[in-house]
Structure 1
Amino acid sequence: MCLSSVATAAPRIGVITMQPGEIFFERFGHNAIVVDDPSLPEPLSYNFGFFDLEEPGFLGNFIRGEMQYRLAVLPLADDLAYYRDVGRGVTIQWLDLGDARATALAQALAENARPENARYRYDYFTDNCSTRVRDALDGALDGALRRQLQGRSRGNTYRGDAVRLASPAPWMWLGFDLGLGPAADRPNSLWQDAFVPMRLADALRQVRTPDDRPLVATEAELLPHRLAPEPAETARPWWPWLLAGLAIAGALSWLGARNPRWPALFALPFWSVCAVAGGLMLFIWCCTAHRFGWSNQNLLLFNPLAVLLLPGAWRLMRGRDPGRLFGWMLATVAIGAVLALFLHWLPLLPQRNVHWIALLLPVHAGLLLALSPNRTGRHA
């Protein structure tokens, strides 16, 4: 009688949340669903975060926004071993789903983990390892998770969380901040916030089951966190960026009044960066599926047209006339930066790039003033 009872007992379902790591793709944390089935020798971890670097065309798929991830199932002890070795903390939330829902979820996960079903097209914000955990739980709860989280918001955005969590790696947060367009700046619901594993863990604590019981029955720490903590939420003031931009613009104007070679020496690498960064933004918009990088208004600040200014800057450094179209193109690039400010003021689809506008609009204006053909005595 006891053996029969154990054999038919429903599994326990838990969600494990791993704290951020030090490698760039570990900066955002991770999570997985644990199925503790009494009929199996040990708990299993259903982990949606596996990808294959050796997969043919992996790099090209990554660049185009067509990367494939898959669900893998492995013993929980094996899944935890890596996080123990690198010092990443892990907590578990045991869920009160009820026997029928827990059994149905375990069966659905096992079916999803079959080789023919395991792969999915990854999207960093809307279809990642954490949103897959969220969606699996929502299915087991007959949509109750989404209903309780969709209409509530803390004002977080995809850009805000991406930049915050990437902040320990300067190149990484710069990439997110410059490369994301206005679609990343809409306030998220708690449902959308769940693309971050730690946000999902916070949300689960507030959810109630369809039977009006707290979804999270108990929580426990499986591994202590020995690395730096998750970056805190901090406001980003724009005025230091404006002060820096005005200081650079003032210096350029002062130097240009004495010898245009000096502002041209600054302009050459600056316009090169604008051309390369703007070219990448344009490529993301026109040639990839990274839709959160589309319509990026930073294109007006890092204008790809700056590449046409490079020959003129080189001529100015050598004391020569910059060319007939230099003045017109110089004004066009500066007007683009003014247009970025105008678009920021519009309520239609604002992009949270005021700090970049505050820095770069004065710089473009300073270069226009310092290198204008009328000021340098040259003719466009």
Structure 2
Amino acid sequence: MMHIVKIILITLFLASTHTLRAAQEEETPQAPVDSIRLSLLTCAPGEEIYSLFGHTAIRYENPARGIDAVFNYGMFSFNTPNFILRFALGQTDYELGVSNYERFASEYSYYGRSVWQQNLNLTPQEKQKLVALLEANYQPQNRVYRYNFFYDNCATRPRDIIEESVAGKVIYAADPADANQTRSFRDIVHQYTQGHPWAQFGIDLCIGSEADRPIDDRQTMFAPFYLMNFFSTAHIAENSRSRSLITDTEKIVDCEKWLATQESEIEKEPYLPTPLQVALALFMLTAGATIYGLKKKKGLWGIDLVLFGTAGIAGCILAFLALFSEHPAVTSNYLLLVFHPGQLFCLPFIIHAVRKKKRSWYHLFNFIVLTFFILLFPLIPQRFDLAVVPLALCLLIRSASNLILTYKHKK
């Protein structure tokens, strides 16, 4: 009987030991996953034109493996062959880069750009999937992608891959304060180019009426801080359960004192006139010279050479973008009514007509088009920088001058 009891006890001991060991083996792989932290990083704007809108990245922390890395979809190089041409054509290729977090944070601290971190509220399985997706994206054959400023950029890529990793669906809550407010791509561009009037003027010249149509909440997330705000109130819906997408938000690089110092330094920099001020000054000079020319009955063809030549070069750039660029927002640009290639191609005939005091049919056509453009300015379905109006008036009064002089000459 004692032998039977011993056998039973030994059997139970071995069984319990096996069960404990199996449980430990199941928990061992799970422990590192629980310690993994994934978060969305949002970086403050910089001073360069490509950094005015801020930046977005994903931080991956795995203490068990000594990993603290930042996955950055905004890597590009100005040294890429034909970079400017490819950018104009909408054929710029960006790629996913990975860097050490300390190096990433040091770089943004050096340039005085604060960084906010939003910790993602993911399950262990979702964390594993997101890490696997990031690692797959970083493979050499996958890391390069065709960049599109409004639709596929360094903010939309992190959003999409996070959405793909969750088991349920990410639901974004609209801000009640914005319930009756509509935005366009141009509105958001203007929001981030405040204080940079020449950058804003250049962008406004290039993007057409497509940038002025109303966009939905999801489309606003091309801008990093819009993405950050929507993430802060988003939740994950899975079956009948729901949980917040973000557990907490913290500023991990704080450059407020640095920025205060920089603002005081900027105030000491020499004043730079805005595009509108330059355009108004040019209009007054052109109007004064035109009045002088009418009194003296002189065509002043040198002024026309500069004005129509410059407008024609600008028109060639706008036409090239509208016809050949893959950027969807540069088509249907009504500024081609003011600046178009015809002003450059017809320049020899324009100058010849002025020098010979002959009526130019081009000037008549230009006068009619620009008159309608200025009169119908508020009704055109595209927002223009106000500097365009005095620039259009410069061309208008030069065409009117030719028509007046040749009319008097014929009489």
TM-score normalised by the chain length of structure 1: 0.82
Aligned to 2:356: 321
CA distance, structure 2, for counterparts of residue 212 and residue 340 of structure 1 = 53
Cα 1:142–1:280 change in 2 (3 A) is: farther
Find the aligned partners of 2:81 and 2:353 in 1 and give their Cα distance. Answer: 48
Percent of aligned pairs with the same amino acid: 24
After superposition, the C-alpha distances for 1:31-53 in whole angstroms (9 at most, x for unaligned) are 10112224321322111011233
RMSD, aligned CA: 3.4
Q: Deviations over 1:318-343 (max 9, x none)?
A: xx32445x2x1012122232454587
Residues 1:372 and 2:403 aligned together: yes
Equivalent runs, 1:255-274 vs 2, <5 Å: 255-261=292-298, 264-274=301-311
Report matched runs for 1:208-287 at 5 Å: 208-210=235-237, 211-225=241-255, 226-227=258-259, 251=288, 254-261=291-298, 264-287=301-324
Q: 1:97 aligns with which of 114, 122, 137?
A: 122
Paired residues of 1:300 and 1:339 also in contact (CA < 8 A): no
The residue number in structure 2 matching 1:235 is: none
Within-5 A mapping of 1:11-160: 11-141=36-166, 144-145=169-170, 148=173, 154-160=181-187
Change (3 A) 1:361 1:57: closer
Q: Which residue number in structure 1 is paired with residue 11 of structure 2?
A: none
Q: 2:200 aligns with which of 163, 167, 173?
A: 173
Aligned to 2:363: 330
- What is the SS of the residue equivalent to 2:66? coil
Q: Tell me, yes or no, if the aligned pair for 1:45 and 1:73 is still in contact at 8 Å.
A: yes
Question: What amino acid is aligned across from residue 296 of structure 1 in structure 2?
Answer: N
Seen in structure 2, the aligned counterparts of structure 1 residues 54 and 370 have a Cα distance that, compared at 3 Å, is closer
Given that residues 10 and 102 in structure 1 are in contact (C-alpha distance below 8 angstroms), is that contact kept between their aligned partners in structure 2? no
Q: CA separation in 2, counterparts of 1:175 and 1:185? A: 16
Per the alignment, do residues 356 and 336 of structure 1 end up closer, same or farther by CA in structure 2, a change over 3 Å counting? Answer: farther
Whichever structure has more helix as a proportion of its residues is: 2
Post-superposition shift, 1:214? 2.9
Aligned residue pair count: 365
Bigger-Rg structure (1/2)? 2
Letter in 2 for 1:199: Y
Q: Which deviates the most, 206-215 or 162-171? A: 162-171
> Alpha-carbon deviations, 1:7-46, whole Å to 9, x = none?
3426222111111112232222111011222432132211
Go from structure 1 to structure 2 and tell me whether the alpha carbon gap of 1:49 and 1:246 turns closer, same or farther (over 3 Å shift). Answer: closer
What amino acid is aligned across from residue 356 of structure 2 in structure 1?
D
User: Are positions 1:192 and 2:219 aligned together?
Assistant: yes
Q: For 2:211, what is the secondary structure of its paired residue?
A: helix
Give, in whole Å, the separation in 1 of the partners of 2:81 and 2:392.
Answer: 43
When structure 1 is superposed on structure 2, of 219-228 and 80-89 the one drifting more is 219-228
Alignment CA distance shift 1:275-1:8 (3 Å) = closer
Aligned equivalents of 1:205, 1:29: Cα separation in 2:
17
2:362 partner letter: M
Runs of 5+ consecutive residues of structure 1 not aligned to the other structure: 230-238
The separation in 1 between residues aligned to 2:168 and 2:334, in whole angstroms, is 36
Separation in 2, partners of 1:144, 1:335: 55
Asked if the contact 2:172–2:234 (Cα under 8 Å) also holds between the matched residues in 1, the reply is: no
Measured in 1, the distance between the counterparts of 2:301 and 2:79 equals 45
State how far apart, in whole Å, the 2-side matches of 1:20 and 1:44 are. 21
State the match for 1:232 in structure 2: none
Residue 96 (structure 1) shift = 1.6
C-alpha separation in 2, matches of 1:240 and 1:353 = 15
Output the CA distance in 2 between the equivalents of 1:260 and 1:213: 78
1:124 is paired with a residue whose SS is coil
CA pair 119-330 structure 1, distance change in 2 beyond 3 A: same
**Per-residue Cα deviation, 1:99-145 (whole angstroms, up to 9, x for no partner):** 33233222211111111111110111111111111212222346744
- 1:105/1:140 contact within 8 Å kept: yes
